[in-house]
């Protein structure tokens, strides 16, 4: 029974992704274009392409979170718990993210031939892992899609302009991924706590999204009772 309660909103999320396939295609083509434009002359091309991949995965998560709000209200009223809805979306969106990360890893490994291909794959995978809870948190907080997308563009855009050694870069969600990606093409950058930092940020964003949905649920029930 518990599994079914997770599968139902997961199926709804899948249908929403299919409905948004054109927009998601554009969001996937954009970071690939960033990578392709700099792949032949820029040693940071894998970092640019890998971090920009967040546009696709986090963008999908934002769309799903915002579109699902009216449906969430009805599901909460019939007994669904907010964490069940969020967990269902997290699982399906992470599967989507893994698929996108696989495509990006293959393209960049063959396009750049990095010294450490496994670090490149790990960095891209960490982007996918962190993008979903980041997008869900932004989607939970943003009033509309425009605001959510602007936040995404701002965060990812700033991350792309910074070096991993800068202080502000270390407090942004994709710093750990940036470290791994840069280390895959040189022997200078340090991975350090890159992976734990990425996981910690992803966990914090998931908790933030869950907190917002949990706070919203009593308001929905109260409005229905009134």
Q: What per-residue confidence (pLDDT) applies to 102?
A: 95
- What is the mean predicted confidence (pLDDT) over 9-18? 83
d(CA 65, CA 191) in angstroms, rounded, equals 32
Per DSSP (E only), the strands in 37-80 are none
Whether residue 226 has pLDDT greater than 50: no
d(CA 155, CA 192) in angstroms, rounded, equals 23
Whether residue 41 has pLDDT greater than 80: no
d(CA 124, CA 112) in angstroms, rounded, equals 14
- What is the mean predicted confidence (pLDDT) over 77-101? 87
- What is the mean predicted confidence (pLDDT) over 163-185? 90
Domain ranges of the chain: 2-225
Which helix (H) or strand (E) is 149 found in, with range? helix 145-161
Q: What per-residue confidence (pLDDT) applies to 217?
A: 63
CA distances from 81 to 66, 216, 225 (A): 17, 11, 18
Q: pTM higher than 0.85, yes or no?
A: yes
Whether residue 222 has pLDDT greater than 60: no
- Region label for 223, one of left (φ > 0), alpha (ψ between -120 and 50) or beta (otherwise): alpha
Question: What per-residue string of b and e applies to 158-195 under the rule 16 or more CB within 10 Å gives b?
Answer: ebbebebeeeebeebbbbbbbbbbbbbbeeebebeebb
Q: What per-residue confidence (pLDDT) applies to 59?
A: 92
The mean pLDDT of the chain is 86
pLDDT (tens digit per residue) in 112-143: 888 889 999 999 999 999 999 999 999 989 98
């Amino acid at each position: 029974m518990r599994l079914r309660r997770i599968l139902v909103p997961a199926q709804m999320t899948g249908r929403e992704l299919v409905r948004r396939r054109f927009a998601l295609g554009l969001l996937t083509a954009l970071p690939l274009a960033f990578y392709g434009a700099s792949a032949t002359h820029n040693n940071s091309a894998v970092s640019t392409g890998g971090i920009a991949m967040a546009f696709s995965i986090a963008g999908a998560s934002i769309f799903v979170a915002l579109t699902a709000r009216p449906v969430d209200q009805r599901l909460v009223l019939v007994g669904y718990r907010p964490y069940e809805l969020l967990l269902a979306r997290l699982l399906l969106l992470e599967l989507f993210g893994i698929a996108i990360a696989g495509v990006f890893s293959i393209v960049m490994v063959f396009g750049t031939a990095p010294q450490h291909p496994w670090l490149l794959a790990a960095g891209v995978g960490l982007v996918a892992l962190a993008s979903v809870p980041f997008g869900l948190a932004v989607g939970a907080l943003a009033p509309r899609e425009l605001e959510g997308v602007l936040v995404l563009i701002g965060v990812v855009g700033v991350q792309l302009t910074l070096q991993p050694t800068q202080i502000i870069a270390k407090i942004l969600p994709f710093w750990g991924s940036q470290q791994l990606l840069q280390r895959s093409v040189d022997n200078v950058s340090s991975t350090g706590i890159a992976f734990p930092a990425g996981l910690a940020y992803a966990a914090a964003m998931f908790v933030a999204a869950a907190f917002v949905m949990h706070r919203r649920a009593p308001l929905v029930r109260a409005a229905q009772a009134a």
